[in-house]
Amino acid sequence: MTLTLDILLSGLVLGGMYALIAMGLTLQYGIARIMNLSYGEFLVAAAFGALFLFTGMAVNPILGLLLIVPASFAANWLLYRVVLTPLVKRAKNQGMLEVDSILGTFGVLFVIQGIMQVVFGGALQSYSYLSVPVRILGTTLAANRILALVFALVIGGLLYLLLTRTRYGTALRAIAVNPVAAQLSGIDIAAASGLAFAAGGAIVGAGGVLISMFLTFSAASGVIFTMKALIVVIMGGVGNMMGALVAGLLLGIAETAVARLVDPGLTIAVTYALFLGALLWRPTGLFGRPAR
Amino acid sequence: MTTKRTCLTALAVAAVSAAFAFGAPAQAQDTIKIGWAISKTGPFAAGAAVTTLPNYQVWVKDVNDAGGINVGGKKMKVEVIEYDDRSNSEEMIKAVERLATQDKVDFILPPWSTGMNLAAAPIFNKLGYPHLAVTANTNQSPQLSKRWPNMTFWLGLPSQLVDGIVETFSKMQKDGKIGNKIAMIAVADQFGIEQSTAAREGLKKAGFELVYDKSYPFGSQDMQPVLKDAQAANPDVLIAFSYPPDTFAITDTMKVLAFNPKAVYLGVGTAFPGYKGKFQANAEGVMGVGGSDANLPGIKAYIAHHKEIIGREPDRWASPITYASLQVLQQAIERVGKIDRAAVINEINTGSFDTIIGKVKLEGGQNVNVWTVGQWQGNDFFGIAPTAKAGAKAPIDKPKW
Amino acid sequence: MNISRVYAGAGIAAVIAILAAVPLFASGYHLALGISLLYFTVLATAWALFSGPTHYIALATAAFFGIGAYTTAVLPDLLPIPLILLIAAVVGVLIALVVGLSTLRLSGIYFVIFSFGLSELIRQLVTWYEVNIHGSVGRYIFAETTSEGIYWRLLALAVAVLCVGWLIRHSRLGLAVRVIGQDETVARHCGIDTTRAKLALFAISAAFMTVTGAIMAPRWTYIDPAIAFNPMISFEVVIMALFGGAGALFGPLLGAVPLVLLFELLIGTFPNYFSILLGLVFVLIVYALPQGVFGLMAARVPSFGRAASATGMSALAEIIFGRVWPRAARREAAGDAPVLRLTDVRKSFGGLVAVDNLSFELRRGEILGLIGPNGSGKTTALNLISGAILPDSGDIQLDGRPIARLPAHRVAQRGVARTFQLVRVLGASTCLENVIAGLAFHSQALWGEAADTRARELLTRVGLGDKADMPASQFTYIDQKRLELARALALDPDVLLLDEWLAGLNPSELQVGIALVKMLRDEGLTIIIVEHMMDAIRSLCDRCVVMNTGAKIAEGPPAAVLADKEVIRAYLGDADD
């Protein structure tokens, strides 16, 4: 019983991190319809930002969020307006946009990675913040990881409410479902998509800052996070905020359970097995709309 | 449209000419050309940026500041040509070929990691360049040096590193400092598996009981599950053959869990300056692979010098050895007195050299006189095993986190 | 014609000979560069074999490449190399078949990420196996190989993959995936077993990737999962193929060669800024070359563009790749019984009952009008008959044999052809290829000269004889309708289903259309038309079945049913209230 509870809590905390990483991408891909391969680079850039503020200027990362989140929002908005808008305008259909955005953001990935390499060097980076034990129901957890979970839940909940309960959210969802029809009904697609993309950027910025408190990272780590985020997003169902949250938590619990009960060597394998299994069971993700 | 085409044509022409038309102009040599292909991008970049690349840079600067390498009475400065292998074996092989046949460099410094060095071995051998495979660590190395006599190994055999661990803990047990229960975790990669396989055998033979023994996948982002089970087994010693990100995560998690075995040995990364930087007083007493005799004047100067040039201290395992291997190369060239690679290889294999890590004399291509276990004591990571090695410190008790 | 073929053949042979001679005079570096060029060319071309026509973006290249590398590492060094490569190919094909069966029902981004997840899963499982069973993660390969040997093997493989690509393009398999890539529904109703076609191509593509890995492995002396399953390979290959143009045989080659050279240029000139420059170049490429290098060339050199959509057929290709298709059963000679019989067929979507216990018979040689107000279930009924969807209950028999549970391509092969309510032609293909798509997959499939001749006959018959070589996308609406009919007729059907085929025609076109349908009936074809135009129904139909809200409400000659009170009420609504 204690073991079950332990696994559940530790798994939730790990899953909270996955969900946090994934939620920005689900906005960017689900609503702005951009398959952003440079997503993880923004996360690592935010982590470097937090590191620099903390070690260089003694600004604690929580305060750092106030600076880094708006910066990441702005950077992503610019990326969308400058680099991606021409591609969106040019694309005749979703397939073309997908190919173009994969190629384009793959380029952006290298640019950002290269800049970080030049500025910060290639070495691994890490610092300690809020690495203190918190006891919940007899289970010891790290405060910084719990913070990531809390953020994931808050952001997920807020976005869910925003998307389902407000007029603007309805407009955004309309874009996700059918951009052409949404345009006909008077929604300014370009502005709304840009905003959704930038909002995704803000979330990934927050994710980067929070994760930098407990994970070691280097300029080359971005791809790992992009892939993890993609897996969570796809497993949850593209554009579905709750889906990303649930899928992330599920993966966290599954990984922890396998590590404790079966073999820690299989934790990453089980992530992929679960992901592949979920897609075979529901080809458009756990919470995705059924394909027509 | 036309400009676009022109641009593309220009690009193509430039690419082709760069690839094919790089003829090395023949001229009287007054510099010594040294090249390397190393991971500046991709997953290996982090490792290379800690252990290898900074030492190449420090060494080149040191040599050139001193006026160059003395080749037959003539001081020749070092000219560097470097490529990025993008953490890809094939790119690395191509770059080494390029250094040798296009740039016609005089010597080639090795890439980073065991896999890369093994992939480089046949090509270094075919081209006849000395291969200082510092970051290659495998039990196969004596056979490999026989197969490719130009290839030398510097970190000691994995089994030797494990012997150091067994020696250290046996001694501590004899002294009554620890019991016989050991928990062991290892990253599921060549390093972790070779080490843990050897350690399993060695520790059992020495009478230890392995109360927890698991591997975890490369790239794990949460060490808590593994450590909780290890903690539940209530060991006297925790041994982790881990990679740097995991080493940091393990330390962090152990602190959070208040997991306090009497001794802690963590794999690669403990000897990094960043480890001490991050954990400060908590680093005290943590053991790990490598170590150095920080009281040697050469090491002291090297550390200060490295910090001055690179902006941070070197790691205390492979970094000093990498620098020492370059000193060996330099001294071998100077003794031979000309750019004769075969003679230099022979000299590296047979000569005896004074370096920052003390006297180096290879045996069968192996540098066996290395620190196998180090421990943070105060501000430095001192070698504690093999105990017979000059300058070995006695292990201290690890304070609780 | 023959002379130019001889020249082309001689030219190709000369190019191969020159490339084969490269190791004799190249320096070690140029040889290594050649190896890079070749192995990316093979991988990108192999990738595009499957992903080009189907538009499935697969990120599984690293998985197959890694499996190939591991095959070499696991097998003893003493085995002859051809045997090792053969084993690798077989392993690749087997894994591709298993993977393909489970994944090809995913589409779009789901497939993309699934294929990536799969590579990672395979890598993790290999690692776990090596750790726990083999007891060591790395494997040494001490096979005696030289760079020259690897170069020649890769060159042979590159020639092979291009030959195979050429042959596939000129075989029915190539036609099948071109049709699938444009419109999978049309493909199925042309009698194409789409799963089989995609699976076959996926496996062929995987075999080449696996063999590439097996060839390359000895070059690295040492293999571990991180080296063998390097995910960057998957991405680089996609970028190269898309950059070159994945739709054309030589597209990936045109992408791989300049990009490899570009990487080399950047890495040599700016080793510290390689990433930034590479990224900028990628972004520029996306802007400057939306259609890829091949698209750029096709836009400038007309002969390039033609090659991309030509239908050329080859008997040799068909001998090799025809084995993909099972032999279709010959159709039974017909008796006097009804051609088609529906018994209590029912289909509901969620809560909506679209077809409600529908029963009717279709007599040989008649035109049956299936009519009713909008939303009455007519098109759903056609979809059920043609196998596009499966009924919830009830029975459909063709010539006395049940077809209700058969997939669309089997129904089409048995002689049920259809057109679509919203006209569907293959816009990127020529008019001729559209028709050949109908000819090539039914039970008495035609190919080569025979198919060409028959397709031109059919086109002449529907009045498109002079437009055979035009791309279908340039057609007017009426011509697209004609073309769709020709494609349906190409199936040599017993039953033809026309879904509002006459809709949208102007009065004079309508007369032509009606005459055409009558002529088909007079030649012995049995036809169901779904139609709204009463004039057409009166002049064409022998009988009518009237549907409303999914159920049959009347049946009989047009004059009688159109006078029926219930039918009038269904069309006009309740006039009583």
Distances (CA, A) of B154 to B112, B133, B331: 13, 7, 16
Using alpha carbons only, what angle is made at residue B29 by residues B24 and B33, rounded to the nearest 5 degrees?
A: 65
pLDDT higher at C399 or C94: C94
Instruction: Give pLDDT, residue A41.
Output: 95
Q: What is the pLDDT averaged over residues C391-416?
A: 91
Task: Indicate the pLDDT class of residue C308, thresholds 50, 70 and 90.
Answer: very low
Residue B17, pLDDT > 70, answer no
Three-state DSSP at B384 gives strand
pLDDT at C335: 64
- Looking at chain C, the whole-number percentage of residues with pLDDT higher than 70 is 94
Angle between the C81-103 and C61-74 helix axes, to the nearest 10 degrees?
140
Cβ pair B50:A268 closer than 8 A:
no
Name the band, by pLDDT with cuts 50, 70 and 90, for residue B20.
Answer: very low
Q: Does B337 touch chain A (CB under 8 A)?
A: no
Question: What DSSP assignment string belongs to B105-159?
Answer: -SEEE--SSHHHHHHHHHHHHHHT--EEETT---TTHHHHHHHSTTEEE-S--HH
- Provide the token pair at B215: 């591997």
pLDDT of C575 above 70 = no
Half-sphere exposure (Cβ direction) of B194: Cα atoms closer than 13 Å: 19
Asked if B226 lies within 8 A of A264 by C-beta distance, the reply is yes
The minimal CB distance from C221 to the residues B98, B119, B190 is found for: B119
Of C102, C131, C281, which is closest to A280 when you measure between CB atoms?
C102
In order of their start, the domains of chain B are 3-157+296-360 (3.40.50.2300), 158-294+373-385 (3.40.50.2300)
pLDDT in tens, C86-124: 999 999 999 999 888 877 778 777 888 888 888 888 888
Q: pTM for the whole thing? A: 0.89
Q: What is the Cα–Cα distance from C440 to C421, expressed in whole angstroms? A: 24
Q: Is the minimum CB–CB distance between B338 and chain A shorter than 8 Å?
A: no
User: Chain centroid to CA A274: how far?
Assistant: 19
Considering only the beta carbons, identify the residue of A83, A110, A231 that sits closest to C113: A231
**CB-closest option in B50, B215, B248 to A126:** B248
Q: Which chains touch A (3 or more CB pairs under 8 A)?
A: B, C
Which class for C316: exposed (0-12), middle (13-18), buried (19 or more C-beta within 10 A)?
A: exposed
Closest alpha carbon to B100 in B110, B108, B89, B88: B108
Residue of C nearest to B114 (CA): C222
- Per-residue pLDDT at C352: 84
Residue from A41, A215, A224 nearest A125 by CA:
A215
DSSP 8-state symbol, C374: T
Interface of A with C in 245-274 (CB under 8 A): 263, 265-266, 268-269, 272-273
Query: Cβ contact (<8 Å) for B188 and C127?
Result: yes
Q: Identify the weakest region by mean pLDDT among A263-272, B136-145, B353-362, C483-492.
A: A263-272
Q: How far apart are CA C466 and CA C45, in angstroms?
A: 36
A234 closest CA partner among C295, C113, B342: C113
Q: ipTM of the predicted structure?
A: 0.85
Instruction: Say which DSSP state B394 is in.
Output: P
B150 in Cβ contact with B125 (< 8 Å): yes
Q: Is the pLDDT of residue C204 over 70?
A: yes
Q: Which residue is closest to B47 within chain A, CA to CA?
A: A123
> Looking at CA atoms only, how far is residue A184 from chain B in angstroms?
34
Q: What is the pLDDT of residues B108-136, one digit of tens each?
A: 999 998 889 999 999 999 999 999 999 99
**What's the Cα-to-Cα distance from B142 to each of A242, B196, B364, C54, rounded to whole Å?**
57, 20, 7, 52
Task: Read off the pLDDT of each residue in B77-89 and give the average, rounded to a whole number.
Answer: 92
Q: Which of A59, A182, A73 is nearest to A129 (CA)?
A: A59
Indicate which of A8, A17, A218 best probes the interface with B, i.e. most B CBs within 10 Å of its own CB.
A218
Would you call C279 and A103 a contact, using CB atoms and an 8 Å cutoff?
no
- Name residue C558's amino acid: P
Q: Do C279 and A95 touch (CB under 8 A)?
A: no
CA distance C481 to C462: 10
- Of A72, A86, A102, the closest CA to residue A199 belongs to A72
Q: Which two tokens stand for residue C360?
A: 């009717």
- C536-562 confidence digits (pLDDT tens): 888 899 999 999 888 999 899 998 888
**What values do phi and psi take at B234, rounded to 5?**
55, 60
Q: Kindly state the helix (H) or strand (E) to which residue C353 belongs, with its residue range.
A: strand C352-362
Helices and strands (H, E) in chain A, number of each type: 13, 2
> For residue C302, what pLDDT band results from cuts at 50, 70 and 90?
low
Burial of residue C489 (CB within 10 Å: 0-12, 13-18, 19+) is buried
Alpha-carbon gap, residue B40 to C552, rounded angstroms:
73
Span A178-189, mean pLDDT? 76
DSSP codes of every residue in A109-149: HHHHHHHHHHHH-SS-B---SS--EEEETTEEEEHHHHHHH
Q: For A149-163, C132-146, C288-302, C430-444, which range has the lowest pLDDT when averaged over its residues?
A: C288-302
The answer to whether the Cβ–Cβ distance between C33 and B86 falls below 8 Å is no
Q: How far is A197 from chain B (nearest CA, A)?
A: 27
Q: How many CB pairs under 8 A join B and C?
A: 137
Measure Cα distances from B316 to B76, B271, C304, C421 in Å.
30, 5, 61, 75
Mean pLDDT over B247-265 rounds to 93
Q: How far apart are CA C546 and CA C158, in angstroms?
A: 60
Residue C38 and residue C44: Cα distance in Å, rounded? 10
Closest CA to C125 of A272, A199, B102, B88: A272
A103, C239: Cβ pair inside 8 Å? yes
Contacts of B14 in chain C (CB under 8 A): 265
Q: Is the pLDDT of residue B5 over 70?
A: no
pLDDT single digits (tens) B31-50:
999 999 999 888 888 889 98
Q: Are residues A106 and C131, on separate chains, in Cβ contact within 8 Å?
A: no
- Nearest partner of B170 among B370, B386, B378, judged by Cα: B386
Does C118 sit within 8 Å of A107, measured CB to CB? no
| Contact check, Cβ <8 Å, A111/C280 | yes
Confidence band (pLDDT; 50, 70, 90) for C307? very low
Residue C447 — very low, low, confident or very high, per pLDDT cuts 50/70/90? confident
Percentage of residues of chain B with pLDDT beyond 70: 93
Smallest CA-to-CA distance from A134 within A118, A147, A120 is with: A147
Convert the pLDDT of each residue in C213-266 to its tens digit: 999 999 888 888 888 998 888 988 988 898 888 888 898 999 999 999 998 888
C499 vs C298, more confident: C499
What's the confidence (pLDDT) of residue B21?
Answer: 44
Q: Which residue has the higher pLDDT, C301 or B80?
A: B80
As a whole number of Å, the CA-based R_g of chain B is: 23
From the centroid of its chain, how far is CA B318?
A: 3
Q: In chain B, what residues touch C220 (CB-CB under 8 Å)?
A: 89-90, 93, 115, 118-119
